[in-house]
Structure 1
Amino acid sequence: MPFETENDPNRLPHLIRRARVVLWDFDGPICRLFAGHSAERVAGDLVSWLEGRGLRGLLSDNERQTLDPQVVLRAVDRRHPGSDLVAELEERLTQEELRAASSAWPTPYADPLIRTWTAVGSRLAITTNNSPRVVRKYLASRGLVDCFAPHIYGRTQELRLLKPDPHCLNRALSAMGAAPGDALMIGDAPSDLAAAERAGVPFLGYARNDRKAKFLLEAGAESVVGSLETLLKLLRE
């Protein structure tokens, strides 16, 4: 069921029909990566690891209390960009994401939507702030690698280029030879929307609950769906 984000009933079918290339965020639209492996605990473990090295002062009180491990990683990178410390912290997060991939929950209707979109001739890419190693592991477990490979663009050592920077979207568009206006970005966070806007790519929000929808709408998203079934039905029509 789409959220009431607009008055034009033709907007969503138009977005779907014109998309020659579909850029997917990973954690959210494709799966809930940390469904069985608490992101809050991972963030706490990263903070504890830093404190064990006498680096408590690198983080503000808010950053130490965050529920998001990416916040910890990016905070350290802002203070020590490109350092060995950041590289080690990033690898620790990647290992936690790899563990999480084994118990991730598929987003309802994501698998058939991905296969159907591929079958009708659209090309798909992943544009995510997660490790590309993690994405490949999850997609392989679902038999979906061939729907995306080789177009999986995830976190690199240059953390300043994570979304909302459009770097991963621009990499995908360049590699696929696609114009921004011929693409569609599907994401579940305001940072996805910001990256899409900066890349000139139309955006479709996915929100699994009202709280997520509220964040996207307040950020300016014009189209938000609460279920990927909506897109699957439009595509099959």
Structure 2
Amino acid sequence: MPTDPVATAATSADTLLFDFDGPICNVFAGVPAPGVARELTRLVTSKDEAAGRKAAETDDPIEVLRIADAADVMLGQEVERALTAAEIRAVAVAGPPTPGSVDALRAAAETGRNVAVVSNNSGECVAAFLDRHGLRKYVVEIVGRPADQLHQMKPEPYPLLQAASLLDVDISTCVLVGDSVTDIQAAHAAGADVIGYANKPHKHEAFAASGASAITDHMQAVADALIGEQNA
């Protein structure tokens, strides 16, 4: 059995669930997130000034969406559609996949594991990016943002449980690779294992405090663990 925590978590799982923004793609690399957040905030403000003032305090498009949905479900739906359109534009110019992610997806599929993407980004933008980079063949299921149930976005466990249901696997046999505390919270709530991808230095401490099973700075570590098992 491997003694490295990343290798232990990755190779003990029958199913790998990957968050999208971070582990696979830097979604807003070409279309910066603060600009998208401002665009969405203008939409929110035009319908609800109080929610717009609150939305103006964040530069995170997903957080603007949460604020809109909390203020009014119909407004949340309108903002969700606008965000989906912005995400699709963004992934077209986001650049290449996260280093190591292609190897990780390929290794997971080639070792006979189920692979799914579970994301608070829209399923449409995930599919567009995977197709653009020839990665769709490695991914069995995509569970994107639940557009009609926005309250079920991570850190709620719904996306992970939905992926497990679609794959017909027990969630306890899954490991999620995610780059946020909400990913870790969602995995714990669902009953899955979780590898924290610390793509920023401050995330190490946050992930450790949140109880991540393993933490890595590089997606290649996930790939190497699976490739190592394959070559053993």
TM normalised by structure 2 equals 0.91
Q: Which residue of 2 aligns with 1:223?
A: 214
Deviations 1:177-222, CA, capped at 9 Å, x for gaps? 1112211111000110011001100000001120233332232324
Helix, strand or coil for the counterpart of 1:163? Answer: coil
Q: Which residue of 2 aligns with 1:171?
A: 162
The alpha carbon displacement at 1:12 in A equals: 2.6
1:76 corresponds to which of 41, 64, 68? 68
Q: Which residue of 2 aligns with 1:134?
A: 125
Q: Which residue of 2 aligns with 1:213?
A: 204
Helix, strand or coil for the counterpart of 1:36? Answer: coil
2:44 corresponds to which of 43, 46, 50? 50
1:95 corresponds to which of 85, 110, 113? 85
The alpha carbon displacement at 1:60 in A equals: 4.7
Contact 2:5 2:213 in 1 (8 A): no
User: Does 1:11 find its partner at 2:1?
Assistant: no
The alpha carbon displacement at 1:100 in A equals: 0.5
Structure 2 CA distance for partners of 1:103 and 1:214, relative to 1, 3 Å: farther
For the residues of structure 2 that align with 1:33 and 1:141, how far apart are their CA atoms? 13
CA RMSD of aligned residues (A): 1.6
Q: Which amino acid aligns with 1:185?
A: L
Which runs of no fewer than 5 residues in structure 2 stay unpaired?
A: none
The alpha carbon displacement at 1:80 in A equals: 1.1
Contact 2:44 2:52 in 1 (8 A): no
Structure 2 CA distance for partners of 1:107 and 1:175, relative to 1, 3 Å: same
Which runs of no fewer than 5 residues in structure 1 stay unpaired?
A: 1-7
**Aligned ranges for residues 97-136 of structure 1 at < 5 Å?**
97-105=87-95, 106-136=97-127
Fraction of identical pairs, as percent: 31
For the residues of structure 1 that align with 2:90 and 2:137, how far apart are their CA atoms? 22
Structure 2 CA distance for partners of 1:54 and 1:18, relative to 1, 3 Å: closer
Structure 2 CA distance for partners of 1:108 and 1:10, relative to 1, 3 Å: closer
**Aligned ranges for residues 137-152 of structure 1 at < 5 Å?**
137-149=128-140, 151-152=141-142
For the residues of structure 1 that align with 2:188 and 2:227, how far apart are their CA atoms? 28
For the residues of structure 2 that align with 1:221 and 1:116, how far apart are their CA atoms? 22
Count of residue pairs the alignment pairs up: 225
Deviations 1:38-62, CA, capped at 9 Å, x for gaps? 10010011112223x252212454x
**Aligned ranges for residues 13-32 of structure 1 at < 5 Å?**
13-32=7-26
Q: Which amino acid aligns with 2:83?
A: L
For the residues of structure 1 that align with 2:177 and 2:224, how far apart are their CA atoms? 16
TM normalised by structure 1 equals 0.90
